[in-house]
Amino acid sequence: MKKPVLTALGVAGACVACCTIPLAMPLFGGAAVLGLTSWLGVHFQIGLEWLVLVVMASVAALVWGTMVLVRRRRARTCKSEPSSGSECAVSPGAEGCGCAPR
């Protein structure tokens, strides 16, 4: 093969790996939730209002769990040294840390 063709294939592969796959995961997850909700409604004869309530509770639990996970990761990565005053002393590399100067 010629080098321009290989380059084009490499760029296309990188675009698929970087953009398409992360964007497709929430779509697959949403489709799975929709399918499960539909199955529950048909199989157990659950009313629409109860299904909406269950979906809303599931989304709220997912958001809460994600927030807890992010806070724990930030606390773990923000290694502060004790200092005088209300500000924590952080290294210059801790820019993503919650206590880093802005």
pLDDT, one tens digit per residue, over 27-82 is 888 788 788 878 888 888 888 888 888 878 888 888 898 899 889 888 887 665 55
Q: Is residue 80 part of a domain?
A: no
Q: Does residue 94 contact residue 78 with C-beta atoms inside 8 Å?
A: yes
* Residue 31 domain flag: yes
pLDDT at 101: 53
Does the pLDDT of residue 89 top 60, yes or no? no
Residue 54 is part of which domain span?
3-70
Q: What is the pLDDT of residue 87?
A: 55
pLDDT digits (tens, 9 = 90+) for 9-42: 988 888 888 888 788 888 888 788 788 878 888 8
Position 47 in a domain = yes
Considering only residues 13 and 1, tell me which one the structure prediction assigns the higher pLDDT.
13
| Structural domain includes residue 98 | no
CB contact at 8 A, 32 and 25: no
Q: How many CA atoms lie within 13 A of 17 on its CB side?
A: 6
Number of domains in the chain: 1
